[in-house]
Structure 1
Amino acid sequence: MNYRPLLAGASALALTWSGTAAAQTTSPETQARPVAAASASDAEEDEIVVTAQRRNENLMTTAVSASVLSGSQLDNKGVANVDALQFAMPSIVVNNFGQGNDFNVRGIGKAEHNTQTTTGVITYRDGVPSFPGYVQGEPYFDVANIQVLRGPQGTIVGQNATGGAVFVNTNDPIIGGGTHGYFNVHYGNYNDAGFQGAVNLPVSDTFAARVALFTQRRDSFYNITGAGGAPYPYEKGKVGLMAGRISLLWKPSDNFSILSKTDFDWLDFGAYPASPFANYFKTLPGTSTPNPNHRDLFDVQYNAPQAARDNFVRSILKAEYEFAGGTKFRSVSSYQWANTMYKADLDGTATGNSYFYDSVDEQQVTQEFNLISADNQRFTWLLGAFGVWNDYHFKRPYQFIIDVAYPLDLPAATYKLQGNNMTRSLAAFGQIGFNITPSLKIEAGGRYTESRSINDVDVRQYGTPIIADQETSSKNFSYKVTLGWKASKDQYLYGFVATGFRPGGLNVPVGLGLPAPFKPEEVTSYEAGWKGNWAGGKLRTTITGFYNDYKNFQVIIGYPTFPTFGIELNVPDKTKIYGFEAEAEFRSGGLTLDAGINVLHSELGTFFATDPRGASTVACNPNTGPASASCIALKGRRQTYAPNLTFNLGAQYELELKSGDKITPRVNFGHVGDQWATLFENPARGDHLEARNILNAQLAFQHKTWTVTLYGTNLTDQHYPAALNSGLYFAGPPRQYGIKLLKTF
């Protein structure tokens, strides 16, 4: 169900292969623990291994554009959650709207935060897709690596991955690895205190367990007052997070293993304060007159309560059996349950009367089967089947509320909803590969998907009852054909054509009869890349060009005959997104330098729409218009949250002292270019979001198994709007600094 338009109507080097980190798919404990205790899964230092395509592959000779960061490099680059990932990898934008994070790769993903729109970038946790709508603030802890695949992944990685896929892999237990682990504590400004740690427990010669814990508390970034500066009596945004993971590995024989992982998270973000966009302007739009309402993004006034809390459990079971000859059978199952609760002062002021509240349960079940041929064959193949069942339960009685006369709770001034939105997607897929010569390989894959969405909701719209019982379904066949050429030991070139798919869905009822469903979105992508090793492996480079051609691009606009409300529909004309990426990493002795850049162009096809933020009673046909002051021609407009330029730079130098101790300074810089928050590109309504330039730095001192690190993020303290939603700016995090202590054993 689409709820963002209702809110408006009511009042998305870390290098593509990231050399140093990607070569170490390990937890922070490997930074200091003895080599003998290192994980058996550690990769060779000169090889970057990716597993996202169901095999262990050397990324430098694999026909895919991807970024890989280990757990230790995530820590080094100041990446503690998904928001910060955009400053450590090119081509990524993360939009935090409060009750969820929307992840975009190359301008593709999800620019509208709602439950009805599927995401074009699937996030996997330990091999299973995570929640697509809510509960996206899960912290990174005890992470082995993060693998980000760019471009459509419609064959073997998610049926609706039109933009890419993100794989967050945590550390597995190690059988025969002894008892080892780590703990890491930190303290910083805003009274930010936290702990994380993990321990590997050998139980027998066939069984091991791993327990990981995370906790954090932090004061609010915001100064919140009531009208006229009076004390604000409600939650101001104090953060309190607790998370844990229990992993069990049983390997009774060399060819059979069962891995279980269960996560428990209680994530109390306190609140997601936001400010009216107009308060951000220093001068009134189009003039040089000072804005009398100008306030800093972190200085807000409210008269309604705030709250933001997610809690969930996720349980994963992975079984793998290897037959004689090397063929593997793999089963990956998951069950996930979550509740998200959110309260917001919807107008962002201490004088308005708009208020929002919801408490939503989400449940997801997934099952995947794979049959994978041996890797060391001239002819390789993969077969698979996948199913995901995701249900949103909008709790009864009416725990989804928009109140424009708060706190009176008048039936004529409230929009209330209860009921269920149930989705299902089933797929079968396969891929074959053939080595034409020892240096030339062709691969082809396909995936057939059937998706379904059902609404069973009961709405009370400003006193008018609406019953929405609707169903829609989508079918699609996606494919990918790749040619890879290992021109020499150090040079690899590839090219492919691939298609991707996002299912259609159902629109929210707005009292005008049940609006029509929107159609599936399809994309055809062309990509070519060159990966090279230079100077004896000290320098690695990647250059990639891509072109994406959309059919039935999904957007949200004003309802054509009643634009006060929003509706999701398809752009009838072609939409194009294209660009290139270039990355490099240099390592020599203790010096590491890395850089990445993405240049992007997005262009909407012929399309007409009415901005739902402005009242209009003039009909506007998406196909023909006609163009007018309210019916806007959107041809050529940029995709939302798709900056034309992103880049990142990093440098570190590891200095080893005569005592054997090490001092390592690190500096990282990330730039995310300016972008538009809506297709209407109206700066006076806050649509233009300025560029973000984030500088992070660390200074680490390591003595045996102890490491002390001074850290700072957003050192220039840039205050920038990270997203626009319902006329409110959601700010990116301000400057943070502190000290960390790591102990490994």
Structure 2
Amino acid sequence: MKKYTATWVIAVALCQATPSFAQNDSRAAAEEEGESESGVPVIVVTAQRREQSLNDVPISISVLDAKQITAAGFSNSLSIGDYVPNVEFKTFAGVPNIFIRGVGNNDFNSSSVGPISIYRDDVVVASTGGQAFALFDLERIEVLRGPQGTLFGKNTTGGAIQYISRQPGDEFEGYAKVGYGRFDLVEAEGAATIPFGDGLSMRFSGLLRRRDGERLNLATGEDAVNIDESAIRTILRYNPDSAVDIRLSGGYGRDRSDYHQPKPLGTINGADAFGYSDPAPDDIRILNFDGASRTFSDNYWVSLNASFELGDDLTLRSITGYDEAEVDNRLDVDGSPLRLDQIAFLTETDQFSQELQLLFEGNGFNALLGAYYFQESLVSHSETDAVGEVPFGSGAIPLITDSARDNESVSIFGQTTFDVTDRLSLTGGLRYTWDEVTAEHRGFLVPNFFDPATPNGPEIDLVPFGQFNDTFKAFSWRVAADYNFSDEILGFATVNRGFKSGGFNIGLITSLAERTQVEPEFLTAYELGVKATLFDRRAQLNISAFYYDYTDLQVLSVNQQAGTVPTLGLDNAADAEIMGLEFELFTRPTDTLDFGLNFGILDATFQNYRSGAIDPATGQPRDFSGNRLPGAPKFTLSTFVQNTFPVNDDLDFTLRAEYNYTGKKFYSNSEEDVLSSREGYGLVNLRASLNSTDDAWQISAWARNVFGKDYLVDATDLRDFGFIPLYYGERGTWGFDVTFRF
């Protein structure tokens, strides 16, 4: 640990950070704290299940408010990665892979369970098929780093991301927004609050986004990577006074977009196993595939949040949620006109959760006691047309996989904070989780399945039908101390113990040996930090340093063994060590100028990890110890500058420029350049707006990836098929939009 002493000294000296660029929507909150509106805005969050100023919360948390979300042009729940230090997103087959501080899920199977929880209005979205959803009419986004278990219903080891909708108030108001952009992008968004009186109100909101493909498919002559998504949400709220707040929410999201089609990199003398090579390897605009390409999904959800004040110091809350997702994804993974690797994933999931919280606050002491119940059912079916150009008897693999999983979880949790002095507070939290997982799985071949002119042959078992059941129980906990050095500076130290339940590998596998059971993984996180408001509230500085001890890490790896079909192993294959630093600065040097700077430094490596894959040079299992974790770049940075120029008493003109940089990251456990982003990449975004001073209307022009940077966001190891699919990020885009508020 000696070589890391300098990092800890810097962290203690400078103190703790979390991205905090959100603004409080309520001017009253600022006035109550006697803080000038001309400086850094007051930031109100609910990370500890009660409303607090961000500077009072001893947790690493990043917050983005409605203005940040609009200015950054976030289109869906996976768009925020470039803006938050040490947070990374990628998708394969429509399954999001989310990483916070190197902790994440690199499994593309729809049955996978990640260590990061996504929350929509306090209800967890556990299904990977439902975690990618459109963003619209939001109040804020909160990103909490590190284990979360003593305050939230769903236990997580890596962190939690909350998407919080704008709630109906007691006045009629709303907005309408329309936009047009490159590749015939058409967007429409709107919302309205309708008050009925006596504390009853309703808010409707919706979104429609369509865009032609940004790339050309030579095989068909048509556009590729089209976007077609829509969503609606309704919130009915009863809030007659401060003692009662009941919110019934429901919504539907529909996605009929194309699959994010890759370009194939041939690994057998520049070609794949069928001798095909990309006709335009240096031009990401050109694709050449004939298979299906889509990521279709339907997502329905409803939730009931109720809060009742039982006295001056006691509050009872109930959070009930139901979520259902249906996914039909069809992928031409090889990206060629031949049938080398084409897959269809069809998944249905539904979940129910119930959380109860009892909160006490008063006399220098606050406490939360919670109980949580969660039930999820998943049914998955996949159809794999591998080397389908070859007759079945000569080696084609028409693999069908059927699987199902039921997960039932019960937990109790609590956390207390006690003010030892008027400056020092101590926090302790404890959770006990009981998870029961039941699964079934079968993988089999069906001769002639992909040949409509020939009857199917008899089914041939590769992985015979099996049923599995196990129960996983564990304690997780949190201890923390925070100290107010002054009214403007908070320092804190925390130790968190997180737990991720065990489970079964029931994804796309081809041998009985791959159908493994994994035991729980555990993460102990140590963190130091400070949050400081400086220069008469003209600057907000947050810095954090952390160290993670990660044990029994659940790892999915593609095991390449010469002469065989690639296999997918899921095992408790490794330990890991993660450490890093996060820095965030937001300044408002004048009433018209804003400047923000975030960066994260990360060192995340496997420990004691010997893979089942065979090293062709030695004939021995590959040793991945010391390799960097997937989705863990050493350095990330985002910065922006924004200035508002008064035109006259009725008009303002605003210019905003952003630069977001992501360092080199790997997409597999092997730490190979061919399976990485190859190099760090930076993206420049611009936005210009003309708006009325009373916020009644706004006209904006924007451009993202201004210089048309080509950058890799994912790569998959399919070298036994003779290729590596390379997934490139979005090309440069531009557009304009008009917003009216009423």
TM-score interval, normalised by the smaller of the two chains? 0.7 to 0.9
Cα distance change of structure 1 residues 581 and 157 upon mapping to structure 2, 3 Å threshold: same
Q: What is the match of residue 215 of structure 2?
A: 222
1:276 aligns with 2:264: yes
Q: What is the match of residue 451 of structure 1?
A: 435
Q: Could you tell me how far apart the structure 2 residues matched to 1:258 and 1:505 are?
A: 36
Cα distance change of structure 1 residues 54 and 417 upon mapping to structure 2, 3 Å threshold: same
Q: Could you tell me how far apart the structure 2 residues matched to 1:20 and 1:358 are?
A: 38
Q: Cα offset for 1:559? A: 6.2
Q: Could you tell me how far apart the structure 2 residues matched to 1:308 and 1:557 are?
A: 24
Match of 1:730 among 691, 712, 727: 727
Q: What is the match of residue 315 of structure 1?
A: 302
State the SS of the aligned residue for 1:437. Answer: coil
Q: Cα offset for 1:560? A: 11
Q: Cα offset for 1:493? A: 0.5
Give yes or no for contact 2:530–2:542 (8 Å, CA) kept in 1: yes
1:325 aligns with 2:325: no
1:415 aligns with 2:404: no
TM-score (norm 1): 0.87
Match of 1:570 among 569, 572, 578: 572
Q: What is the match of residue 251 of structure 2?
A: 263
Q: Could you tell me how far apart the structure 2 residues matched to 1:264 and 1:160 are?
A: 26
Quick one: which amino acid aligns to residue 511 of structure 1?
S
1:476 aligns with 2:469: no
1:303 aligns with 2:290: yes
Q: What is the match of residue 597 of structure 1?
A: 599
Q: Tell me the alpha carbon deviations over residues 101-158 of structure 1, each in whole angstroms, 9 at most, x when there is no partner.
A: 2211111122222234321111100001113321333111000000001111132235
Quick one: which amino acid aligns to residue 547 of structure 2?
Y
Which range is displaced more, 67-76 or 292-301?
Answer: 292-301
Q: What is the match of residue 378 of structure 1?
A: 364
Q: What is the match of residue 3 of structure 1?
A: none
Give yes or no for contact 1:543–1:583 (8 Å, CA) kept in 2: yes
Q: What is the match of residue 11 of structure 2?
A: none
Q: Cα offset for 1:436? A: 0.1
Q: What is the match of residue 636 of structure 1?
A: 626
Cα distance change of structure 1 residues 95 and 321 upon mapping to structure 2, 3 Å threshold: same
Q: What is the match of residue 76 of structure 2?
A: 81
Q: Cα offset for 1:324? A: 1.6
Give yes or no for contact 2:677–2:713 (8 Å, CA) kept in 1: no
Q: Cα offset for 1:364? A: 1.1
Q: What is the match of residue 161 of structure 1?
A: 156
State the SS of the aligned residue for 1:594. Answer: strand
Q: What is the match of residue 534 of structure 1?
A: 534
State the SS of the aligned residue for 1:373. Answer: strand
Cα distance change of structure 1 residues 291 and 236 upon mapping to structure 2, 3 Å threshold: closer
Quick one: which amino acid aligns to residue 450 of structure 1?
W
Q: What is the match of residue 198 of structure 2?
A: 205
Q: What is the match of residue 552 of structure 1?
A: 552
Q: Could you tell me how far apart the structure 1 residues matched to 2:325 and 2:101 are?
A: 29
State the SS of the aligned residue for 2:349. Answer: strand
Cα distance change of structure 1 residues 203 and 154 upon mapping to structure 2, 3 Å threshold: same
Q: Cα offset for 1:602? A: 1.1
Q: Cα offset for 1:535? A: 0.8
Cα distance change of structure 1 residues 24 and 669 upon mapping to structure 2, 3 Å threshold: farther
Q: Tell me the alpha carbon deviations over residues 359-395 of structure 1, each in whole angstroms, 9 at most, x when there is no partner.
A: 2111111111000012x4312111001122121112x
Give yes or no for contact 1:173–1:247 (8 Å, CA) kept in 2: yes
State the SS of the aligned residue for 1:241. Answer: strand
Cα distance change of structure 1 residues 566 and 271 upon mapping to structure 2, 3 Å threshold: closer
Q: What is the match of residue 8 of structure 2?
A: none
Q: What is the match of residue 274 of structure 2?
A: none
Give yes or no for contact 2:676–2:714 (8 Å, CA) kept in 1: no
Cα distance change of structure 1 residues 656 and 501 upon mapping to structure 2, 3 Å threshold: same
Q: Could you tell me how far apart the structure 2 residues matched to 1:560 and 1:267 are?
A: 34
Match of 2:188 among 161, 176, 195: 195
Q: Could you tell me how far apart the structure 2 residues matched to 1:297 and 1:471 are?
A: 46
State the SS of the aligned residue for 1:537. Answer: coil
Match of 1:464 among 453, 460, 465: 460
Quick one: which amino acid aligns to residue 739 of structure 1?
F
Give yes or no for contact 1:571–1:605 (8 Å, CA) kept in 2: no
1:583 aligns with 2:565: no
Give yes or no for contact 1:92–1:106 (8 Å, CA) kept in 2: yes
Q: How does 1:121-140 map to 2 (within 5 A)?
A: 121-140=116-135
Q: Cα offset for 1:237? A: 3.0
Quick one: which amino acid aligns to residue 581 of structure 2?
F
Cα distance change of structure 1 residues 657 and 678 upon mapping to structure 2, 3 Å threshold: same
Match of 1:401 among 383, 386, 391: 383
State the SS of the aligned residue for 2:47. Answer: coil
Cα distance change of structure 1 residues 184 and 608 upon mapping to structure 2, 3 Å threshold: same
Match of 2:63 among 58, 61, 68: 68
Q: Tell me the alpha carbon deviations over residues 384-413 of structure 1, each in whole angstroms, 9 at most, x when there is no partner.
A: 01122121112xxxx410012447995962
Q: Could you tell me how far apart the structure 2 residues matched to 1:313 and 1:138 are?
A: 11
State the SS of the aligned residue for 2:503. Answer: coil
Q: Could you tell me how far apart the structure 2 residues matched to 1:110 and 1:280 are?
A: 30
Q: What is the match of residue 609 of structure 1?
A: 611
Give yes or no for contact 1:669–1:693 (8 Å, CA) kept in 2: yes
Give yes or no for contact 1:681–1:688 (8 Å, CA) kept in 2: no
Q: Cα offset for 1:629? A: 4.3
Q: Could you tell me how far apart the structure 1 residues matched to 2:306 and 2:36 are?
A: 26
State the SS of the aligned residue for 1:531. Answer: strand
1:706 aligns with 2:697: yes
Q: How does 1:230-245 map to 2 (within 5 A)?
A: 231-232=220-221, 236-245=224-233
Q: Cα offset for 1:206? A: 2.2
Q: What is the match of residue 742 of structure 1?
A: 739
State the SS of the aligned residue for 2:78. Answer: helix
Match of 1:667 among 626, 634, 657: 657
Q: Cα offset for 1:16? A: 6.0
TM-score (norm 2): 0.87
Cα distance change of structure 1 residues 136 and 269 upon mapping to structure 2, 3 Å threshold: farther
State the SS of the aligned residue for 2:183. Answer: coil
1:99 aligns with 2:94: yes
Q: Could you tell me how far apart the structure 1 residues matched to 2:20 and 2:580 are?
A: 23
Q: Cα offset for 1:533? A: 1.5
Q: Could you tell me how far apart the structure 1 residues matched to 2:240 and 2:50 are?
A: 22
Give yes or no for contact 1:113–1:133 (8 Å, CA) kept in 2: no
Quick one: which amino acid aligns to residue 692 of structure 1?
Y
Q: What is the match of residue 715 of structure 1?
A: 706
Q: What is the match of residue 363 of structure 1?
A: 350
Give yes or no for contact 2:265–2:278 (8 Å, CA) kept in 1: no
Q: What is the match of residue 619 of structure 1?
A: none
Quick one: which amino acid aligns to residue 269 of structure 1?
S
Q: How many residues align?
A: 687
Q: Tell me the alpha carbon deviations over residues 452-505 of structure 1, each in whole angstroms, 9 at most, x when there is no partner.
A: 222123331464321021123211100000000001111111001111111111
Cα distance change of structure 1 residues 672 and 278 upon mapping to structure 2, 3 Å threshold: farther
Q: Cα offset for 1:164? A: 1.0
Match of 2:420 among 431, 436, 440: 436
Q: Could you tell me how far apart the structure 2 residues matched to 1:650 and 1:401 are?
A: 45
State the SS of the aligned residue for 1:72. Answer: helix
Quick one: which amino acid aligns to residue 688 of structure 2?
L
Give yes or no for contact 2:65–2:139 (8 Å, CA) kept in 1: yes
Give yes or no for contact 2:85–2:598 (8 Å, CA) kept in 1: yes
Cα distance change of structure 1 residues 407 and 473 upon mapping to structure 2, 3 Å threshold: farther
Quick one: which amino acid aligns to residue 23 of structure 1?
N
Give yes or no for contact 2:366–2:417 (8 Å, CA) kept in 1: yes
Cα distance change of structure 1 residues 16 and 310 upon mapping to structure 2, 3 Å threshold: farther
Q: What is the match of residue 684 of structure 2?
A: 695
Q: Could you tell me how far apart the structure 1 residues matched to 2:428 and 2:192 are?
A: 42
Q: What is the match of residue 4 of structure 1?
A: none
Cα distance change of structure 1 residues 550 and 560 upon mapping to structure 2, 3 Å threshold: farther
1:173 aligns with 2:168: yes
Give yes or no for contact 2:280–2:286 (8 Å, CA) kept in 1: no
Q: What is the match of residue 391 of structure 1?
A: 377
Q: Cα offset for 1:647? A: 0.8
Give yes or no for contact 1:360–1:393 (8 Å, CA) kept in 2: yes
Q: Cα offset for 1:695? A: 1.0
Q: Could you tell me how far apart the structure 2 residues matched to 1:428 and 1:563 are?
A: 45
Cα distance change of structure 1 residues 600 and 659 upon mapping to structure 2, 3 Å threshold: same
Q: Could you tell me how far apart the structure 2 residues matched to 1:101 and 1:310 are?
A: 13
